[in-house]
Chains A and B, each alone.
Chain A
Amino acid sequence: MSDATFRPATDETPLARRALIALAVTGLSVLVLAPLVAVFVEALRDGIGAALQSLSHKDAWAAIKLTVTIAAISVPLNAAFGIAAAWFITKFDFRGKAFLITLIDLPFSVSPVVAGLCIVLTFGANSAIGAWLVDQGYPIVFAMPGIVLATMFVTFPFVARELIPVMIEQGRAEEEAALTLGAGGWRVFWTVTLPNIRWALLYGVLLCNARAMGEFGAVAVVSGKIRGQTATIPTTIEMLYQEYLSVAAFTLAAVLALLALVTLLLKTLLELRHADQLAATHRH
C-alpha cells in the first residue's frame, strides 16, 4: 500500500484522505455536535436543580405526555400503512403505480404549515364534517385527533420510503416460493416478507418516530397550542422561549434531544447484536 504506483483505484492519496476526514469532522462538529452540546449547556446554566424544577411544572409534564402519546399512536399506524403501501407497490403490477409513489412522497414536498391548514379547513368547525363532529363531542381541530392526523401526514413517507427500495431489490421470488410450498397470504407475509424487511422497517420506524416527536409546523397550526392540553414538546419549547424562560425552554429541548438519542442508541445496539443476521438478510 505504501507503493504509490500500485495503490488501488479507489484509494485516495494520504493528503486527500486527511483533508476529506477533516472536512467531515468539521462539518459534523459545527452542524450537529455543537448545537446539541449548546442545548444541554443552556439547559443546565442554572444548575441541574433548576432544570429539573422546570420540568416538574405541570404544563411541561403535560407536553411530554402528549408528545409521547401522539408518537405511540401515529408511529404504529404509519408503520402499518407504510408496510401496506410498500407491499402493494412492490408485489403487484397495476396502472398508476408511478402516481401512487409520487403521492406517498407528497408530505415531503408540502410545507407542514400548509398540511396543518388543510386539516383545519377540512375538519375545522367551519366545515360541514368538522361542525358535525364537534356537535357529536369529537372535535378534531384543537384536539388530540387533529394532532395525530397532522403528525401522521407529515411522517407518512418515512416507513414506505425505507421499505420500497428494499422490497424491489428482494423481488417476489421468495414469496412465490412460499406460495408454491402451500403457504397462504398471511403466512407468507409473517414468515417471509416481514423477516426480510425488518431492518428497513426498523430504520423507517425510528426515523418516523424522531420526526413525529419533533414535528412543529403542522402541529402548531392544528393544535392551537393550548397549554396543558394540546401543546406538545416542540410547541411548548417555542412558547417558553418566546417568554424568555430559556432554562425551561432548553431543558425541554434537551429532553427532546435525549429521546432522539435514545432511539439512535437503540438502533445501534440492535445492529451490534444482530450483525450476523443483518449480513445474512441483506443479500445472498
Chain B
Amino acid sequence: MHIEIDEISKQFGTTAALHPVSLAIPSGALVALLGPSGSGKTTLLRILGGLEFPTSGRVLFDGQDATGLSVQQRRAGFVFQSYALFRHMTVFDNIAYGLNARPSATRPQKAEIARRVTKLLDLIQLPDIGSRYPSQLSGGQRQRVALARALAIEPRMLLLDEPFGALDAKVRKELRQGLRDIHDTTGLTTVFVTHDQDEAMELADLVVVMSMGKIEQIGKPQDIRARPATPFVREFIGA
C-alpha cells in the first residue's frame, strides 16, 4: 500500500513533537525512520497506525484520506518497542488474538485459525513454542512472536518501533535478516523506527533522517551516505 504523509504536525501540550512533515512511501517499500531519541519517530509511526492523531495535516493510504480512520480500521500490523505481548496468554493465543477479535461474520473457523497460527509460527521459524507464555521466551523470540501476531491480521502495512532495540548485538544481526525476509515474502509496505544508522542503512530501501520533529533528509542509503543534505545528517551518520 502506498502511504502519503501530508504536512503532518503533532503538538503535545506545549511540546511540538512534529513540525509539519511530508513524506511519500511507495507501495512495498521497506523504510527506516532514523534519528536520535526525541526526534519524533515514534510519534510519526503512531500517527500512521492510528494510535495518535495529528494536530494538523493528513494521512493518505493509496490516495484515500485515512486521517480519520480509527486504529482498528487502519489494519496496520504494529510491533511495539517492548513487544507488548499479552502476558497472560500463550504464544498461540497471542498470535490468534486479532483473528478472534474479528466480528463473527468474518472470523475464521477455529481450525482455520489454528492452521494460520501454525503457518505463522513456521514463518518466524519457531514452530514449537505455541503453548509457551511470553515470560518463557528469549528477547529475540518475543520479537518474532510480536511480528507473527501483527502479521496474523493480514495487515495493509507493517509498522515497527525499534524492533531490535532490546536485543543484544548477535541476535540483532540475525533478526535484521529475518525482517528483510519477511518483508520480501509478504511484500508489505514496512516502516520501522531506529536510532541505529547501521541498521537503517543495511536494511532499508529508503531512509528518512529525522531530528527535533523535522525530516532532515529522505533518500536511498547510498545517496544519504554520499550526499548528506544537512550538517546534522553528516554528523549523525558519521560520514
Interface positions of A (Cβ within 8 A of B): 173-174, 176-184, 187, 191-192, 195-196, 277, 279-281, 283-284
Interface residues of B in 91-121 (CB under 8 A from A): 97-98, 101-102
Contact partner, B102, options A173, A182, A195, A279, Cβ 8 Å:
A182
| A181–B88 touching, CB < 8 Å | no
Does the CB pair B51–A179 fall under 8 Å?
yes
B87, A180: Cβ atoms closer than 8 Å: no
Contacts of A283 on B, CB cut-off 8 Å? 87, 135
| A residues less than 8 Å from B81 (CB atoms) | 173
Q: How far is the CB of A135 from chain B (nearest CB, A)?
A: 49
- Which residues of chain A have C-beta atoms less than 8 A from B86's C-beta? 174, 177-178, 191-192
A283 to B, closest residue via Cβ:
B135
By a CB distance below 8 angstroms, the chain A residues around B133 are 280
Given contacts A179-B72, A196-B88, 9 further A-B contacts (CB under 8 A): A174-B86, A180-B49, A182-B72, A184-B72, A277-B88, A280-B133, A281-B88, A284-B85, A284-B134
CB distance from B99 to the nearest CB of A (A): 9
**B73-89 contact mask (Cβ, 8 Å, vs A): 1 or 0:** 01111101110111110
Whether A195 pairs with B153 at a CB distance below 8 angstroms is no
Closest 3 A/B residue pairs (Cβ): A181-B98, A173-B84, A180-B78
Residues of A close to B76: CB separation below 8 A: 180
Q: Which residues of A contact B77 (CB under 8 A)?
A: 180
Cross-chain contact B87 with A196 (CB below 8 angstroms): yes
Interface contact B84-A177, CB-CB below 8 Å: yes
Contact A183-B101, Cβ < 8 Å, known A173-B82, A280-B135: yes
In chain B, residues 8-58, which have Cβ atoms closer than 8 Å to a Cβ of chain A?
49-51
- Closest Cβ–Cβ distance, residue A76 to chain B (whole Å): 23
| B residues near A181, Cβ cutoff 8 Å | 97-98, 101, 149-150, 152-153
Q: Which residues of A contact B49 (CB under 8 A)?
A: 180
**Bound-complex Cα distance A280 to B86 (A):** 10
Cβ of B1 < 8 Å from any Cβ of A? no
A24 to chain B minimum Cβ distance, whole angstroms, is: 32
| Nearest-CB residue, chain B, relative to A172 | B84
B173 CB → nearest A CB, Å: 23
The residues of B that contact A180 with a CB separation of less than 8 Å are 49-51, 71-72, 74, 76-78, 150
Show 14 A/B contacts (Cβ-Cβ < 8 Å), sorted by A. Answer: A176-B80, A177-B149, A178-B101, A180-B71, A181-B149, A181-B150, A182-B72, A192-B86, A195-B88, A196-B88, A279-B135, A284-B85, A284-B134, A284-B135
